[in-house]
Structure 1
Amino acid sequence: MKIIDCIVLGVACLACTPSDYYTLQGTLPENSKATEVYLLTGEGKGTDTLAKSTVRGDRTFTLKGKAENRLLYLNMGNYGGRVYFYSEPGEYQLKKIGNNYLVETGQEGMQSRLNAHLEKIEKNSTERFDLQKRMAETSDEGDLESLGRENERLWKQGNDLLLDMVTDFSGSSVAAMLVQDNMWIISYDFKLFTRTVKAMGDGPDSEIRKEIMEKYEAAKQKQLTGKAPDFTLPDLKGENVKLSDYKGKYLLIDFWASWCKPCRMKIKELKKEYGRLQELGIEVIAISCDKKKEDWLKAVEEDQPIWKQLRVDQEINGSDTADDYKVEFLPTLYLISPDGMVLDTNPGMEEIEHVVKNNK
């Protein structure tokens, strides 16, 4: 009987070998006051705690548990950031990168794949933070313009890096979690949202995926599509201009305001691209959302745009043109076809050239 008990015990031990477990060690920041760290299944309501560890006097901790083989969150108390941990069997170490942390591993697997993306994203984030600091400290218009272009490049690069990460885990629950966690970036730009949903791919049904798709459908309903709303608005001379006046021509409409710095930078950008837009047969008009006429006139005098300038006027038009065009952020640009259809929202020069050439 004792022999049988030993055999059963041996089988049980084999089933719970260390190869099924992870060990995660680390040291909290010097300013941390956390007394415990937690390994969580998510954030907010419905989150489960899978493991926790007491923080020692030297701020170190050790988390041990059975590998879940899924993406989890390491919560470090008062540390304000999200630390991903894909709990495969093995040894892991908390590592500081830039202003954030990641879970380092010496083995190939999901965590190492994730880290490769996170390190690139953190580098981009640090560069953007430093650049924005420089922008806040300079008053030179030339420097601001140059820094503004670099800031835009870094933002686009950051978006591409995020998409690369989601694509790498396409079709999995990991991809859906990454999209949900970065919704504050993704939902700002519907084009980016669309690309991200495509990159996320089909995957297992979950509340996270359902919530993402509901938000995407809601965002889609807010997009201006189909026939562009006609309008009647005053120009600088007080003469009324209608959208229908441009029938038969491609039209780029720029919604902006004098108080909007990105809008003013966009004007400078459009001035450089205006010649090429004219070559493509595209007319440009600007619609100011300024409430005070004098603010609009002052900005136009300062920036000297060379295309038609209009201003939102509910009394003349009968409605708020910005609302009619579903404008949520400034600046917002629309490319309109010769027959008055909305072709694109916030297009870059390459997108404009592509759309126009493929619609001839």
Structure 2
Amino acid sequence: MRSLLFLLVLLEYSELSAQNLTGKCPNIKSGKVYVINQSNETIDSVRIVNECFVVTSKLREPSLFTLRSSAFDGEVYLVLEKNRPLSIEINPRGEVKYLINTLINVSFQKVHKDYINFQQQILKLSPSVDSLDNDSLMSLRSTAYTQFIQKITDFIVQKSANQVSALVLFEIVHLSNLLPVNELKKRFDMLSEAVKKSSYGQKISEYLIKEFTLREGNIAPEFELVDVENKVHKLSDYRGRYVLLHFWASWCGPCRGENKEWPMMMPVLSQLPVTIIHVSQDSEKKEWLKAIKADGLECFIHVLNTKGKKGDVVYDYQISGIPDNVLISPDGTIKQKKIRWTDLEKLVK
């Protein structure tokens, strides 16, 4: 069955107001579109009737929704704002044509397009490119990253008084782990006071407050998680050794791509005074175990991020996007966050 994932960012201001999205669906006679909130709860569903559907919602704060349907393919990002209806036409392949657009949606789509182009550039500059040496690859990747971050920064400066700037900073920059926390705060400080108080602004602010409590040199949060054989692993069990926590999931494309490099590095990693623990965010144990075997990672310690006695380790370590890594010193303090595991050798010597 084909499926469509619509990620809708619904923007509005403080008071209640109706939001309308009109969709025309040529050659689709019937079907159902589900409205999903950020907690993955279905809050509404609408039928496709006479090749059309209409979504009407009432919200107090800017909110992120997902529309899902079995009738279409593709993935589309949309921004709706208060009292400005948006109308789209979707064909069975999930291709979208805007019939009525808004300035905020146009702004967001431009940034999102730049982000997709940036991702494609990075993928093209993967280690599998045989014609370039590692230094050349790293230089080109660094240039692409710098150029994209500059575009984001320019956008935030230009739109500092518009809520779309906080939306972009949270949804694209923060959730994709594109900036270290200090650099994220610099961009957050560029926002107007009103935008900082918006829903997305508050989410960024809350993240920054929690993140600064997990500064390098502070005690790393304890955890108790079980591995593939149901053995319990606690951080305190490894006191006296470096510990690298690698956060990933079987459904994460970039994670699976990076997984292929781990076995090749095993001869080097095995000589280092560090224990590597792969922390999965999978909800399905079967898929987790299948990915471990498929990627040849059986030689590493693997645990599931279940909420055990010491809570949610992903929340405790403020992991906002994956893959991600945290290095913990032998004394139990945080050595470094958001590191590349390829830099591990120089960090533990």
Q: Report the TM-score, using the length of structure 1 for normalisation.
A: 0.49
Partner of 1:78: 101
What is residue 252 of structure 1 aligned with on the other side? Answer: 244
Contact 1:287/1:310, CA 8 A, preserved across alignment: yes
Q: Please state if 1:160 is matched with 2:146.
A: yes
CA gap of 1:295–1:282, structure 2 versus 1, over 3 A, is: same
**What secondary structure, in the 3-state scheme, does the structure 2 residue paired with 1:82 have?**
helix
Query: Paired residue for 1:52?
Result: none
Q: Which residue of 1 aligns with 2:260?
A: 268
1-structure distance, mates of 2:320, 2:189: 28
**Mapped partners of 1:318, 1:186: distance in 2:** 29
Where in structure 2 are the equivalents of 1:189-268 lying within 5 Å? 189=177, 191-192=179-180, 194-198=182-186, 207-208=194-195, 214-223=202-211, 225=214, 226-268=218-260
CA RMSD, 1 decimal: 4.9
Q: Which amino acid in the other structure matches residue 186 of structure 1?
A: V
Give, in whole Å, the separation in 2 of the partners of 1:297 and 1:123: 35
Alignment counterpart, residue 308 of structure 1, candidates 301, 310, 319: 301
CA drift at 1:208 = 4.1
The whole-number CA distance in structure 1 between the counterparts of 2:154 and 2:306 is 48
2:328 to 317, 336, 349: 336
Change in 2 beyond 3 A, CA 1:154/1:209: farther
2: CA distance between counterparts of 1:248 and 1:185? 38
Q: Determine the structure 2 residue equivalent to 1:185.
A: 172
1:1-360 matched pairs, under 5 angstroms: 78=101, 81-82=106-107, 125-126=116-117, 128=119, 146=128, 159-165=145-151, 174=158, 176=160, 180=166, 182-183=168-169, 184-188=171-175, 189=177, 191-192=179-180, 194-198=182-186, 207-208=194-195, 214-223=202-211, 225=214, 226-305=218-297, 306-314=299-307, 317=309, 319-349=311-341, 352=344, 355-356=347-348
- The percent of aligned pairs where both chains have the same amino acid is 25
Per-residue CA deviation, residues 206-257 of structure 1 (Å, 9 max, x unaligned), is 5346668755421213437132232333333443322112111111112333
CA contact (8 A) 2:160 2:195 kept: yes
Deviations 1:174-209 (A, max 9, x none): 384695473232222273463154368779x65346
Separation of aligned partners in 2, 1:351 and 1:208: 37
SS in 1 for 2:243: strand
Gaps of 5+ in 1: 1-42, 48-75, 84-98, 101-117, 135-142
Runs of 5+ unmatched residues, structure 2: 1-79, 85-98
Distance 1:206 1:238 in 2: 49
Displacement after TM superposition at 1:313 (Å):
4.8
CA distance in 1, matches of 2:106, 2:267: 46
More helix by share: 1
**Which letter does structure 1 place at the counterpart of 2:182?**
T
- Shift in alpha-carbon separation, 1:198–1:156, aligned structure 2, 3 A: same
Cα separation, partners in 2 of 1:164 and 1:350, compared to 1, 3 Å: farther
| Distance across 1 between alignment mates of 2:116 and 2:304 | 37
Measured after TM superposition, the shift of residue 308 of structure 1 is 1.5
CA distance in structure 1 between the aligned counterparts of 2:239 and 2:332, rounded to whole angstroms: 7
SS in structure 2 opposite 1:163? Answer: helix
Tell me by how many angstroms 1:291 deviates: 3.7
Q: Which has the larger radius of gyration?
A: 1
For this pair of structures, how many residues does the alignment match? Answer: 239
Alignment partners' CA distance in 2, 1:292 and 1:202: 41
Matched to 2:149, the amino acid is L
Q: Give the TM-score normalised by the residue count of structure 2.
A: 0.50
